[in-house]
Structure 1
Amino acid sequence: MALGEKLLVVGNLWDPELDYFWNIIPSSPPPPLCGIDIVAYALHPDGRTIFMSTASATHSVDTSNGSWKELGDWVLPFKGQAYFDDNLDAWVGIHGKEDGYICCCPVASRSRTTRRPPDCRMLNEKLFLRNSEKTWRKKGRHMKATLTYMGYSRFCLVENILRRADGLDSVLHVTLFTLKYDGMGELRNKVHPCTRSYAVSKNTRLFSHAAFWM
């Protein structure tokens, strides 16, 4: 703690009334899948329901009671995790098929099944390898990309570019951008995206990043 800072203690941390305890809640059996089967997932705005898609179907689980539900034979349009943005009133993520593009879709219903996935809106501007794309393709291989939500329709896209086969030369390509809907309801960049590239230590073989926002 730095000089001049004050430590504030509120209440009694060992108050028995504040103790947590485990309780067993009856729940429906989960579908026959494991983590490697999940291709996309997103948290509902209610803060407790998680939607997850396999290659052929989408399920939800209510973490408050452990209840599972099969929503239909369709797949969320994302690759990996998507994030809810209240300004857009939609989930936002990396598109699962159009490599390098960002997309959004309305939040799926928790209570009913459907045969169709939510309508997807694609950002018309490709963000992957935004600067000097031809140079990056010649000098490196795209290894991994993650999207992180920063609040207020702001997002951070981090790409891991491997430039040598032995894994001793990789680069992080970081793009910050903000989304909005235009007058036609299409997904657009609110301001010009900001991009930077950072070299990774050559002592780190086959570097794989993890990005988060606090």
Structure 2
Amino acid sequence: MSLKNWSVEHSIHQRNSTFTFDTERLEWTHLGEWLLPFKGRAYYDRELDAWVGLCLFEQGAGHLCCCDVPPAAGCLTMPAWKLGKDVFFDDDSDRHSGATLVYMGDSSFCIVERLVPRDFDSYPRSRALSITSFLLKYNKDGELVTAHSRAYASISYKIARQDLMPELDPVAFWM
């Protein structure tokens, strides 16, 4: 990465700005001097008419949140957002080392959590994943809740290299 590119990215992050990218015109548009409430990727869900992602804020760690779609023109304040009721992982746990939200279509989602195995000292190259799939909906009070949640057994595996960056969240996608 060149110094020029780093400066642009650095100044964008310092400004706490939100941009959109028009995939037809291949243009960026500045929406406002605020950040959406998501950590990592967020996904638009047509049924909820909202963006959904893992909560960025410390008070909402381990929760999902949804956010109204910002208007295409500039917006002075962050759009309204809601914190989901369910807690999917404990961000402060010694075993938790990252999570990724995956959108599977039609309000169906999956969380992949990377865990430090219980026997980590014995097998330093071991890793574990916990996978939970669920549907999201608004309840009668307009709160974001999960339905038809299914937790899968944790999967343990050995990594090929020990020097992988532990701060990276797991990479997952739906096809």
Per the normalisation by structure 2, the TM-score is 0.78
Q: How far apart are residue 197 of structure 1 and its match?
A: 0.6
CA RMSD of aligned residues (A): 2.8
* Alignment partner of 1:85 out of 37, 42, 45: 45
Instruction: Supply the distance in 1 between the matched residues of 2:47 and 2:159 (Cα, whole angstroms).
Output: 41
Instruction: Supply the distance in 1 between the matched residues of 2:153 and 2:52 (Cα, whole angstroms).
Output: 22
* Alignment partner of 1:123 out of 52, 63, 84: 84
Q: How far apart are residue 81 of structure 1 and its match?
A: 0.8
Unpaired runs of 5+ residues, structure 1, are 1-29, 39-52
Given that residues 82 and 94 in structure 1 are in contact (C-alpha distance below 8 angstroms), is that contact kept between their aligned partners in structure 2? yes
**1:105: which partner in 2?**
67
**2:151: which partner in 1?**
194
Q: How far apart are residue 75 of structure 1 and its match?
A: 0.3
1:157-209 Cα shifts (integer Å, max 9, x gaps): 00111243784121111111111111111101122342421001265534763
Q: How many residues align?
A: 160
Q: 1:116 to 1:182 in 2, by over 3 A?
A: same
Given that residues 100 and 113 in structure 2 are in contact (C-alpha distance below 8 angstroms), is that contact kept between their aligned partners in structure 1? yes
> Percent same amino acid at aligned positions?
34
**Higher strand proportion (structure 1 or 2):** 2
Q: Indicate whether 1:149 and 2:103 are aligned.
A: yes
Q: Indicate whether 1:69 and 2:29 are aligned.
A: yes
Q: How far apart are residue 143 of structure 1 and its match?
A: 2.1
Given that residues 130 and 155 in structure 2 are in contact (C-alpha distance below 8 angstroms), is that contact kept between their aligned partners in structure 1? yes
Given that residues 63 and 87 in structure 2 are in contact (C-alpha distance below 8 angstroms), is that contact kept between their aligned partners in structure 1? yes
Ranges of 4+ aligned residues in structure 1 off by more than 6 Å: none
Instruction: Supply the distance in 2 between the matched residues of 1:202 and 1:63 (Cα, whole angstroms).
Output: 36
Structure 2 counterpart SS, 1:125: strand
Q: Relative contact order (C-alpha < 8 Å, sep 6+): which is higher? A: 2
- Within-5 A mapping of 1:173-188: 173-188=130-145
Q: Which has the larger radius of gyration?
A: 1
Q: Indicate whether 1:162 and 2:116 are aligned.
A: yes
Letter of the 2:67 partner, please give it: C
Unpaired runs of 5+ residues, structure 2, are none
Instruction: Supply the distance in 2 between the matched residues of 1:143 and 1:194 (Cα, whole angstroms).
Output: 18
Per the normalisation by structure 1, the TM-score is 0.65
